[in-house]
Amino acid sequence: MSEKKWSSSFGFIMASVGAAVGLGNIWGFPYRLGMGGGFVFLLFYIILVLLAGYPLLLAELGLGRSASLPPVKAYASLGPGWGAVGAAGQLACFIILSYYSFFGGKVLQYLFSCAGINIASSLLWQFVFTVLSVSAVLAGVRRGVEAVCRVTVPGLIVMLAYIFASTASLPSSKDAMLFLFRPEPGSISLKNLSSALTQMLFSLSVGQGCMITFGAYMPKGVSLPRCAALIPLLDTLVALLAAAAIMPAVFASGVDPASGPELLFLAAEGMFAPFRASRALSAVFFASVFLAALSSAAAMLENLVCEVEARGRLKRRGAALVLALSCFAAGVPVCLSFAKGDGGVFELYERVSQYGLICCGSAASCFAVTRVWGKRASVRAIFGRDCAAGRVWLFLLKFVVPPLLACAVISIFLF
């Protein structure tokens, strides 16, 4: 994998942020925020990013760079049986990408409708989105995934900031801001905490193998803690911008903030109606959402391709095509389910991937890093030397992160 390296630290940061910033921020974060009651969910999210997200992110990037191997082989290098942890992450990535392509296609459908092209087939748009994702991966690590993310991430932030400035003039913006930033003690619950935790892991692409793959492409001399800190920072910034831009439209159109996974699309119809250039603003918004979705989808597919390619059974092109078609096929039941007005298949996929595979896999990852990889070896691999920051990082992985993950898994059986 020596020929597969990021061109620079900036390229690594943009690619990693591109993997993290996607529909999880613009589609997933607002609807879970709405279902979680606003401010309490947001507070949980930010605290969990600091206590669990950043430590897990560092662990995965460090393991990937140290082993210079894809996820399954990177974990297998720690000892017999540990490859199963990497396999769980890859399976989670596959399941997520299968339903991700449906929502990515739906965004593409809305984008083209702004130009007057109205094709109602969600399955067709899901296929088109899959083709675009695999095209980015086939271009290679630097010319494909990195090049896409270098453009999409800065462009997305600028677009969302512009849309936020536009929707801030809506009369409903005051209600939206109160919803986002006024504490509601009644929203404090284990269910809300678990929802914020799984959303954070999903948004940061932790537990899916992506960050191990990206760490394997990272040069040894780059400061991992410093570069990695920008990933959750920018990821959370985009999530907040998306929520602040979308929620005024949600309140203005009378849509219930707790509407669930289709919140973005329910609010979209009337989001820019009060503005003169409503069609142009709609196009800008959905273009930004599509770019974010494409960068994340390409990153997830790259992760899976790297794993298959490393096994030597398929070359890069064959692996990308087979995996893309497989993910599309696995996503067809999600599309058909929503067409019937029932998101049951999506909810099943989400529970299995996020609450099951990612949470359990991340807990096992904590044990692997702190007990199997070893305290000194892991700290030196990530921080370059034994230091106080390294000891705090190990403490969080050992005593704080596992109980939080256990709460999320337990919540599956309670709610």
Buried b (16+ CB within 10 A) or exposed e, 23-39: bbbbbbbbbbbbbbbbb
Annotate 124-171 with DSSP letters as a single string: HHHHHHHHHHHHHHHT-IIIIIIHHHHHHHHHHHHHHHHHHHHHTTST
- Write down the pLDDT at residue 246: 80
- Write down the pLDDT at residue 94: 95
Specify if 4 maps to a domain.
no
- Write down the pLDDT at residue 16: 67
| Dist CA 338 CA 315 (whole Å) | 35
- Write down the pLDDT at residue 3: 45
> Counting Cβ atoms within 10 Å, is residue 277 exposed (0-12), middle (13-18) or buried (19+)?
exposed
> Counting Cβ atoms within 10 Å, is residue 347 exposed (0-12), middle (13-18) or buried (19+)?
middle
Nearest CA to 67 out of 80, 83, 78 is that of 78
Specify if 385 maps to a domain.
yes
Q: CATH code at 148? A: 1.10.4160.10
Domain range for residue 102? Answer: 9-414
Specify if 268 maps to a domain.
yes
Specify if 278 maps to a domain.
yes
| Dist CA 242 CA 239 (whole Å) | 5
Are 62 and 215 spatial neighbours (Cβ–Cβ below 8 Å)? yes
Specify if 1 maps to a domain.
no
Quick one: CA torsion of 157, 163, 166, 172, rounded to 10 degrees? -110
3-class SS letters over 207-251: CCCHHHHHHHCCCCCCCHHHHHHHHHHHHHHHHHHHHHHHHHHHH
**Residues contacting 311, CB < 8 A, separation 6+:** none
Are 96 and 327 spatial neighbours (Cβ–Cβ below 8 Å)? no
**Residues contacting 323, CB < 8 A, separation 6+:** 94, 301, 304, 305, 308
Nearest CA to 332 out of 48, 127, 112, 134 is that of 127
Q: Using CA of residue 369, residue 374, residue 378, residue 379, what is the dihedral sign?
A: positive
- Residue 265's SS3 state is helix
Structural domain count of the chain: 1
Specify if 199 maps to a domain.
yes
On whether the pTM is more than 0.75, the answer is yes
- Write down the pLDDT at residue 2: 39
Per-residue pLDDT of the chain (415 residues; tens, 9 = 90+): 434 555 566 666 666 666 666 777 777 788 888 888 888 889 999 999 999 999 999 999 888 888 888 889 989 988 888 999 999 999 999 999 999 899 899 889 888 887 788 888 889 999 999 999 898 888 765 665 666 667 667 777 887 787 777 777 777 788 888 888 887 776 788 888 888 998 899 888 888 888 888 888 777 777 888 888 888 888 888 888 888 878 887 787 777 787 777 777 777 766 666 666 667 777 777 887 888 788 788 888 988 998 888 887 788 889 999 999 999 999 999 999 988 877 789 889 988 998 889 998 899 889 888 888 877 788 888 888 888 999 999 999 999 999 999 988 888 776 6
- Write down the pLDDT at residue 38: 83
Specify if 216 maps to a domain.
yes
- Write down the pLDDT at residue 4: 57
How long a stretch of residues is the chain? 415
